[in-house]
Chain A
Amino acid sequence: MSDEGGDSWQERADRALARLVDASAFERILISLAALAMSVVVGAVVILVSGWVATCESPVFSVAGIGSFCYDPIDVYVTLFKGAIWPSYNVAITLKETTLLLFTGLSVAVAFRAGLFNIGTQGQLVLGALGTAMAVLWVAPVVPAGAVGALILITVGLLAGAFVGGVWGAIPGALKAYADANEVITTIMLNFVASGIAFTLVSEVFKDPESQTVQTRAIPGFAQLRPVFFDSTVFSMLALVGALVLAAGIYWMLNGTSFGYDLRTSGVQPEAAEYGGVESKKTMVSSMALSGALGGLGGAVYVLMVASRWRTGIPSLGFDGITVSILAGNNPLGVIPAALLFGALKTGSLAIEFQLSVPKQLVGVLRGLIILFIAMPEFFRMVGARFRFGDERPTVATDGGETTDGSAGGDQGGDDR
């Protein structure tokens, strides 16, 4: 490293960012693949042990002195992946999940890049979904049925979902910026609050009078995102293409716009960003609002494409989004394969339960394991970077003194450094 003492904070931060983001791409892919491989191995142990505990009529194999095993790990993994693509209807389910996970994965990734840990995507999605359902039901009577009406209603629905999710996401952003409240905790609490509010609103005010369960009336058929290529009622190619374009757009936003620059700088070097003239408080609120809007869009697509209404028991797409984003190294383009992988796992989990009676919650275990393994090499890499570029960052870890970001928040990990 040449002497950089005379440079401004902004220039230094700029170079550090460029180097760390670009140089680490290959390494990061290796880390994610290694984490996946390790999770598969540990997952196999979980399958073996649970197969040993479980009782079944015809064990797949027995070991003398140890006992019989009900599940064969290789069989489970093969079924898991086969189930994601076969029969062909399952491809539609996989792509449906992928589409939804793209939104929540991008939501978490944007916040992460700004140094904020958004665990609240689930709540933003739940309320965004409600906003979409309400807006579409409200506007539907005044638009003509057919293509024009569909265009209007889908646009209104997407905007409403993004708006409600954005507002809900801005709350923890503002709490962090102006009251120094840890966003890890507030976003988790807001998840509980969001589902409580949504449930109450629907059950007390907007309930479908003809239904026993807590759900809104169905949106008109012509406002639903329809299949184009697949013969499926739950998946629309249009939505997937839209989500892919959005991923590319977010990538461009982060890497090609000044807002994206401010956002990333705040995430990597908060102090440098401040010196460089970034208004960190505003960036904090706006990046959380953007993150929430993406989560809300996920809710909108869930209503428009999958459920046709707001209903209780919305799947935990927001939490899966955390895994997708962390696996993708919080890179918007990396979110695409990560979302596809988790979409496939989701569909495959139904197959293993149906065909092999292995509980589908296994995928939840794998999700946690992947995050666990990514947490470790990630730090090895950061340590390596710190040694190589020792003059770049103050070595706060070893002297036990003041830290650069002493908060207990999630702003210390997982982002591109």
Chain B
Amino acid sequence: MSYADRSRKRRLLAGGTALVAVALAAVELFFPESPVSEIVRIVDANYVKSVLRLAVPITFAALGGIFADKSGVINIGLEGLLIISAFTSIAVAGTISGGSPTQLQLWVGFLAAVLSSVLFALLFAVICIEFKADQVIAGLAVWLIALGLAPFASKVIWGQVNSPPVATLSDWTLGVPFTDISLFTANPPVVMMLVAVPLAWYVLNRTAFGRWIEASGENPKALDTVGVDVRKVRYSGVLLSGFFSGIGGAGLALGRVGQFIGGGATMVNGRGWIGITAFLFGNYNPLGAFGASFLFASLDALQIRLQQLGYSIPSELIGIIPYVTVIVVLAFVGHTRSPSAAGEHYESGEE
């Protein structure tokens, strides 16, 4: 399938979504009593708010994945990085406070979580760049290590795979200065996400560093020729993937859930993998990746709301909707051309 074909399909999908939205709005307007209307009425300010909260780990994983992949290092370990940081955030906040952390202690946990994720990413980078490991297998290893390590450490610390609950980060309120009027209140990780998405876009598209990242993944030799160290650029790309995933994991644990859940696929439950799909769908563009994350999160929020409304659709079945969507999206519109040199190791000519 050609690239033009893909973008046409992407536009069709966007147009189709808009049409459905208009149709649903019409149903709501003309048939307020119908069951469809009840579902449409789910979509309100609170719904959007919860979608944004659900989108946090997916979006941050996607942003991280973009930087790593664009620099030429495929990082499929994002899921593991989310798990590590979600665990660390709760473990640190809980331990330093003795169980009931204050807001300040929660933020210390947040920072520690980002740091732990960056350190894990550094390990991954060293293995891939210095030891020329196979990136896909090494990424898989990062995921599996996190999947084993976090519940293991949970048991060591708390005696069980789940942590006791802690408080979550309080919302930030933005108001008009010197008045009581508040414009909006939002979860801090949500605010960070809304800042990070355009910032990442700006860095990638309008700065020298963004051009280096691009060149490092597309044509490292050219980058080398103009005197930029490909290794350093790739390290930055991978470390940024750790940085963003760290915010995503800590945002999930401290912003929304207030607990580490280590059973099964852990509380991260595939969001890192959905993040990968989100940036593929968004064609390595942070804005597109955010759009895709928002789409997946809104499906997730929809199934939560439908359950709250008491629809007798089995929750497990609705729960698979985001995953099915990912597959459909990937099969029909989501495929994108990866950076040419992604997955390839680069040896500087001067060595």
Most chain A CB inside 10 Å of its own CB: which residue of B141, B155, B220: B141
Answer whether residue A53 sits at the interface, using C-beta atoms and an 8 A cutoff: yes
Q: Is the CB of B133 within 8 A of A367?
A: no
Residues of B close to A192: CB separation below 8 A: 270, 320, 323
Given known contacts A401-B340, A412-B343, is B155 in contact with A375 (CB within 8 Å)?
no
How far, in Å, is B19 (CB) from chain A's closest CB? Answer: 24
Cβ contacts under 8 Å, A229 to chain B:
none
Q: Which residues of A contact B146 (CB under 8 A)?
A: 368
- Supposing A175-B330, A189-B323, A413-B136 touch, asked if A371 and B340 sit within 8 A by C-beta, the answer is no
Given the known A-B contacts A371-B141, A376-B133, A397-B345, are A359 and B331 also in contact in the complex, defined by CB atoms under 8 Å? no
Supposing A359-B151, A368-B148 touch, asked if A188 and B137 sit within 8 A by C-beta, the answer is no
| From A53, A186, A200, A403, contact of B314 by CB (8 A) | A200
Do the beta carbons of A184 and B136 come within 8 Å of each other?
Answer: yes
- For the residues of B in contact with A, the DSSP-based class is helix
Contact B335 A180 (CB under 8 A): yes
Which listed segment binds B: A3-11, A284-292, A319-327? A319-327
Stretch among A97-105, A233-241, A334-342, A378-386 lining the B interface: A378-386
| Residue in A closest to B326 when the chains form the complex, CB atoms | A189
Instruction: Tell me, yes or no, whether A29 is within 8 Å of chain B by CB.
Output: no
Q: Give how many A-B residue pairs fall within 8 Å (CB-CB).
A: 201
Give, as a whole number of angstroms, the nearest-CB distance from B153 to chain A: 7
**Residue in chain B with minimal CB distance to A411:** B136
Residues of B within 8 A of A319 (CB): 144, 147
Given contacts A359-B151, A400-B344, contact A379 B156 (CB under 8 A): no
User: How many angstroms between the C-alpha atoms of A200 and B220 in the bound complex?
Assistant: 49
User: Is B131 a contact of A376 with CB atoms below 8 Å?
Assistant: yes
Contacts of A322 in B (CB 8 A): 140, 144
B14 at the interface (CB under 8 A from A): no
Residue B346 at the A interface, CB < 8 A?
yes
Residues of A close to B347: CB separation below 8 A: 397-398
Interface positions of B from 148 to 183, Cβ below 8 Å from A:
148-149, 151-153, 155-157, 161
A193-B137 in contact (CB<8A): no
The main secondary structure of chain A at its interface with chain B is helix
Q: Give, as a whole number of angstroms, the nearest-CB distance from A396 to chain B.
A: 7
Contact A403 B343 (CB under 8 A): yes
Q: Is the CB of A400 within 8 A of B148?
A: no
- Whether B152 contacts A326 by the Cβ 8 Å rule is no
Asked whether A396 lies within 8 Å of B344 as measured between CB atoms, the reply is: yes
Chain B residues within 8 Å of A376, by CB: 127, 131-133, 138
A62 at the binding interface (Cβ < 8 Å): no
Interface flag for B341 (CB, 8 Å) = yes
* Any B CB within 8 A of the CB of A402: yes
Number of interface residues of B (CB under 8 A): 64
A364 at the interface (CB under 8 A from B): yes
Residue from B74, B146, B337 having most chain A Cβ neighbours under 10 A: B74
**Min C-beta distance of A312 to chain B, whole Å:** 10
Asked if A371 and B152 sit within 8 Å, CB to CB, the answer is no
A50 and B127 contact, Cβ closer than 8 Å, known pairs A188-B270, A196-B317, A380-B132: no
Known: A362-B152, A376-B131, A412-B134. A400 touches B157 (CB 8 A): no
A91 to chain B, nearest CB (A): 25
**A186-B330, A361-B161 are known contacts. Are A407 and B145 too (CB-CB below 8 A)?**
no
Query: CB-CB < 8 A to B332: which residues of A?
Result: 179
Query: Roughly how many angstroms separate A402 CA and B340 CA in the complex, as a whole number?
Result: 6
A406 touches B134 (CB 8 A): no
B298: Cβ under 8 A from any A Cβ = no
What 0/1 pattern do residues 186 to 200 of A give for CB contact below 8 A with B?
A: 101110110111011
A319 to B265, CA, bound (A): 11
Residues A185 and B136 in contact, CB atoms below 8 Å apart: no
Please, which residue of chain A has its CB at the minimum distance from the CB of B221?
A400
Whether the Cβ atoms of A54 and B270 lie closer than 8 Å is no
Which of B161, B270, B316, B347 counts the most A-chain CB atoms under 10 A from its CB? B316
- Find chain A residues with CB under 8 A from B343 CB: 403, 408, 412
A181 touches B335 (CB 8 A): yes
Q: Told that A319-B147, A408-B342, A413-B137 touch, could you supply 4 new A-B pairs with CB distance under 8 A?
A: A185-B273, A362-B152, A364-B148, A375-B141
A-B contacts, 23 of them at CB < 8 A, read A119-B140, A179-B331, A181-B331, A185-B277, A188-B273, A189-B273, A189-B326, A193-B327, A196-B317, A196-B319, A197-B320, A199-B314, A319-B147, A365-B149, A368-B148, A368-B149, A372-B133, A376-B138, A379-B133, A400-B220, A406-B342, A412-B134, A412-B136
Binding site for B on A (CB under 8 A): 46, 50, 53-54, 117, 119, 175, 179-182, 184-186, 188-190, 192-193, 195-197, 199-200, 203-204, 319, 322-323, 326, 359, 361-369, 371-372, 374-376, 378-380, 383, 396-403, 406-410, 412-414
Closest 3 CB pairs of A and B: A364-B148, A368-B145, A413-B134
Give the interface of B toward A (CB within 8 A). Answer: 1, 69, 74, 76, 127, 131-138, 140-149, 151-153, 155-157, 161, 218-222, 270, 273, 276-277, 280, 314, 316-317, 319-320, 323-324, 326-327, 330-332, 334-335, 337-338, 340-347
